[in-house]
Homo-oligomer: A and B are copies of this chain.
Amino acid sequence: MQVVKGPQVFPRSEYLRRLNAVKTRMAERDTAAVVITDNAHITYLTGSVARSYDTRGLVILSSREEPVFILRWMDVAAAVQETFMERGSIIGYTEDLVGDPDKDGHDAVIDFLLDQGLGQCSIGFELCNLTLYSGEKFKCRLPQARMDDFSTVVTRIRTLKSDLEISVMREAAAISDAGVLRAAEVMRPGIREADAIAEIVRTLARGANGKPGTWIATPYLCATSRIGNPHTTWSEDILREGSQVNLEIAGVRHDYHAPICRTYILDKPSDRLLRIHEAQLAGLEAGLNVIRSGAVSGEVAKVIHSTTEKHGFKKRSRAGYSIGINWMENTTSLKLGDTTVLEPNMTFHLHLGSWVEEDFGYVLSESIRVTESGVEVLTKAPRQLFILD
């Protein structure tokens, strides 16, 4: 029996708004079709959140309201259920394109483009996302088409959230907060890092305010000898008296992430730890004071960097980055020299984390939204060094 649509996160009008923004760029550049291959972009433009390893392509045609989603036959039912699109806009390709070194789902995308008579048109591709292999395949099988680079088009559109998206990010942020508080409850000397993670991921799945987490983003629990770097996950160690834990997690709703960092100390904190907390707290609050519509990204970063420096800690990394679907959007950084002018409903992970020596670092961050007059802090967990002594 055929499946029917499941509950939709956003109304059809929201997806059409997003698609129309892409189509406006297509019209400006006289591009008849765009092939979207970045999974986050596919989610953004369709509502699809199923996770398949197999090649997928979303083709946006200037002549057609809905895009055409081309994916492995076994993933068609999920696409029908999850996306806003009619069944006729979803095409399953056959099993012979799977697990073959010479063929994949992009061949089905090319077949579709040829079938539409687009072989001699300008076609947009996300070149920054396409592998050399796939790029060669498209060039080879569409020799008369002109490849137009649409790498940054959808990313840029994603940067400005709708109020509907902001609502979902608030839900995700509440889950992040719950994770932070659960960590404070369970981390004690003698428990394994993995056991703390177990309780944290359980909380991230259960969610908050009746809204479950819809995915488990990788949690980063850097403890004890690993607090000098940000990207280890957790280890097989046991937390000890005196262990510091730098935690970075993100609640997720419908693939929208709201990251947050907090630091925990399983003992009385050292002076150095108290000082770096004060420095990052001051930097974070200074940033919040200057972020508003019209502010320049690099200038915000400058305020943050100079504040932490006044407190004796030089921050080497950028002060944040754009967020939304997935942990990070590769668009705007809150980074010295960045000239982006902030606009309402841009969202950032405002990240004060500093890894000052190989064996010492501290993390403090919030997920935030730029507003007309200032900022909305989406994450609301206590902005403190958690002292669990």
Interface string of A312-353 (1 = CB under 8 A from B): 000011100100000110100101001000000000000000
Rounded to whole Å, the gap between the CB of A46 and the closest CB of chain B is 14
Across the interface, do A359 and B1 meet the contact criterion of CB distance under 8 Å? yes
Q: Give every chain B residue within 8 A of A181 (Cβ-Cβ).
A: none
Measured in the bound complex, the distance between the Cα atoms of B233 and A358 in whole Å is 37
A216 to B204, CA, bound (A): 12
Determine if B328 and A53 form an interchain contact, defined as CB atoms under 8 angstroms apart: yes
Partner of A229, one of B76, B231, B328: B76
Docked pose: A230 CA to B294 CA in angstroms: 46
Residues on B with C-beta less than 8 A from A51 are: 218, 220, 231, 233
Complex CA distance for A212 and B3, rounded to whole angstroms? 39
Query: If the complex has contacts A206-B194, A206-B195, A215-B218, are A1 and B53 also in contact, measured as CB distance less than 8 A?
Result: no
Residues in B whose Cβ lies below 8 Å from that of A194: 205-207, 212-214
Q: In angstroms, how far is the closest chain B Cβ from the Cβ of A48? A: 10
Asked if residues A358 and B229 are in contact (CB atoms below 8 Å), the reply is: no
Name the B residues within 8 Å of A316 (CB-CB). Answer: 73-74, 95
Which chain B residue lies CB-closest to A152? Answer: B101
A128 at the interface (CB under 8 A from B): yes
- How many copies of the shown chain assemble into the complex? 2
* Known A7-B236, A74-B355, A81-B225: A129·B131 in contact at CB below 8 Å: yes
In the docked arrangement, what's the CA distance between A129 and B338, Å? 29
Contacts of A232 in B (CB 8 A): 49-50, 78, 81-82
9 tightest A-B CB contacts, nearest first? A194-B212, A99-B333, A198-B205, A77-B358, A77-B229, A202-B202, A52-B231, A78-B229, A132-B135
Between-chain CB contacts (< 8 Å), 13 pairs: A6-B226, A50-B232, A51-B220, A52-B230, A53-B327, A74-B317, A77-B355, A98-B317, A127-B131, A135-B135, A194-B214, A198-B206, A216-B216
Given A3-B225, A201-B201, A201-B205, 12 more contacts at CB 8 Å? A1-B359, A3-B228, A51-B218, A51-B220, A74-B229, A74-B317, A77-B229, A77-B355, A77-B359, A78-B226, A81-B232, A201-B216
